A and B are shown apart, each in its own frame.
Chain A
Amino acid sequence: MTTDRQDDWGDDGELQARLDAYAASRLEPDSAATARTRATVMVQAHSILGPARVAGDAAGPGLFRRLFRRPALAASAALLGLAVVAVGTAAASEPGGPLYGARLWVETLTLPSDANARAAAELDRLQSRVDEATAAVASGNGAAVTAALDAYRQTLPDAFAAAGSDPTSEQHLSAELGRHLVVLEALAGGVPTNARAAIDQAAIDQAVQRTEGKINAVIGTPGQSGGAPGQGNPNPGSGNGTPGQPNGTPKPGNPDPGSPGDPGHTPNPGNPNGTPPGH
């Protein structure tokens, strides 16, 4: 832990400062690389572990925190929530499911009124839609990808409206949207081979393109600095603009965890079953 490290370093502040500067300059991952890696890893995670918890996760603790912040709406939202639980399973409220629209509506009901909190909540909603799209790609559900990204595009103007006149919120939102662009690009090209046959790839690509187009429209086309979003919906209804390529070229990476070649390597890198030597 921190104290543990401090004990070992004593008061060697000068050396620590130099190592910190070195790490900041040479070792930090850039945000595009992080987004690319996360997208690839999450596609595999959903493929291997399963997408079952996505719906619950998206409507998780954050939702309940927001509910309690606005008690006037809590009752009606709770009733609707109960109805959702009573009428269908969690699957029904997943993207493309019959209750997905209702779940999105509940989300809007529970948005906080405070401007900063609302901007953060809208950003959370966008992230949830990206996570849902990632999960849907992994499970080969083209309709769910389309539904999640449709919802993403519908949320986009609200997110910009919530960011409002606060330059910090707006800047943060634009940065996050840039990251979403990279994730979306990775999704379009990162479908696992074993799931590809079951996927309506054209529909996914179209949904991704539409969403990229929308993002590019509100933050400015790649290569430009983030444009003024206005009210966040400069291209209402079109939704089919062909975007330029998003910032950065996503790398396919090496999604083959079993074959990085470990000739004669004794420590068994792929299978350290949690037992260290000597234990």
Chain B
Amino acid sequence: MNDVDEVAVERLVAAAKQGDAMAFGRIFDLYHRPVHRYIAARAHNPADAEDLTQVVFLKALEALPRYEPRGIPFGGWLFRLARNATIDHARTHRDHADLAAVVERPGTEPEPGAQAAAGEEIEAVGQALAALTDEQREAISLRFFAGLSAREAALAMGKQEGTVRGLQFRAIAALRRNLGLDAGDDEDRTR
């Protein structure tokens, strides 16, 4: 993961496995924000994101004794827990999802002036993300919002690294298209 020293993380994991709760606290401090960002990108409201993030760390705590690095970065393992938690949550809450998306989406209140313009841009990004396929959105969430490496994202998604890069490539193209960022390129091509 970006800005995370994997060797230091493995040391913390080893300490936590030996019973050092404070080491797990450090792991929480390192990963809470990226995990929350990933989950918030997939959940329907902030409360769900908070609950799911908590569930992920509690699951990690329980599963930690069974975690063995063997060349697998801890981040990939943890985000696999996060991904499975969000999938399970989506399955059990699918019936309410659409309503929740409309009712509980934050930041939709009218805002004055420049804030309104920024708000519209953010809303447009949200819509562009929603227009991606699930896998494309997942790749963007893991790579961009959580800051995972392609390898870690591949582990989390249970796919090959090249597949994840391909998903990301297509997602970026779709986002640029949906956000109107390809306009200049199109003009260049028509000349």
Contact = CB atoms under 8 A, between A and B. Distances in A.
B172 A54 contact: no
Contacts of A276: 72, 76, 80, 155, 158
Interface stretch (A24-32, A160-168, A235-243): A24-32
Interface string A27-45: 1111001101110111011
B136 interface: no
A260 to B, nearest CB: 5
Interface string B35-54: 01100110000110111011
B51 to A, nearest CB: 5
Interface stretch (A96-104, A193-201, A251-259): A251-259
Contact of B21 (A21, A45, A271): A45
Contacts of A53: 15, 19-23
B50 to A, nearest CB: 5
Interface in A217-266: 251, 253-258, 260-263, 265
B59 interface: yes
B61 A48 contact: yes
B28 A254 contact: no
Interface string B15-36: 1100111111100110011001
Contacts, number: 215
Interface string B91-108: 110000000000000110
B69 A29 contact: no
A40 to B, nearest CB: 6
A255 B84 contact: no
A254 B181 contact: no
Interface stretch (A5-13, A112-120, A144-152, A204-212): A5-13
Contacts of A273: 63, 66-68
A27 B51 contact: no
Nearest to A271: B63
A37 B57 contact: yes
A274 interface: yes
Contacts of A131: 22, 25
A51 interface: yes
A18 B117 CA distance: 12
A265 B36 contact: no
A235 B145 CA distance: 46
B145 A27 contact: yes
Interface residues of A, number: 67
Interface in A137-193: 138
Nearest to B67: A274
A160 to B, nearest CB: 25
A267 interface: yes
B179 interface: yes
A272 B81 contact: yes
Contacts of A36: 50
Given A267-B80, A270-B63, A271-B66, A23 B37 contact: yes
A142 to B, nearest CB: 19
A72 to B, nearest CB: 30
Interface in B51-89: 51, 53-55, 57-59, 61-63, 66-70, 72, 76-77, 80-81, 83-85, 87-89
Interface of A: 1-2, 4-5, 8-9, 12, 14-16, 18-19, 21-23, 25-30, 33-34, 36-38, 40-42, 44-46, 48-54, 57, 131, 135, 138, 251, 253-258, 260-263, 265, 267-277, 279
In the A-B complex, list the 9 residue pairs whose CB atoms are closest, starting with the nearest.
A269-B84, A257-B58, A22-B125, A27-B40, A29-B36, A45-B21, A57-B22, A50-B19, A27-B37
Given A21-B118, A26-B126, A36-B50, 20 more contacts: A9-B144, A14-B181, A15-B176, A18-B121, A23-B144, A29-B33, A29-B53, A30-B46, A37-B54, A44-B61, A45-B24, A48-B62, A49-B21, A50-B21, A261-B88, A267-B158, A268-B84, A270-B63, A273-B67, A276-B72
23 contacts: A15-B175, A15-B181, A22-B125, A27-B41, A27-B49, A28-B37, A29-B50, A38-B29, A38-B32, A40-B54, A41-B61, A42-B28, A53-B15, A53-B23, A54-B22, A135-B21, A254-B55, A260-B89, A270-B59, A271-B63, A272-B80, A273-B68, A275-B70
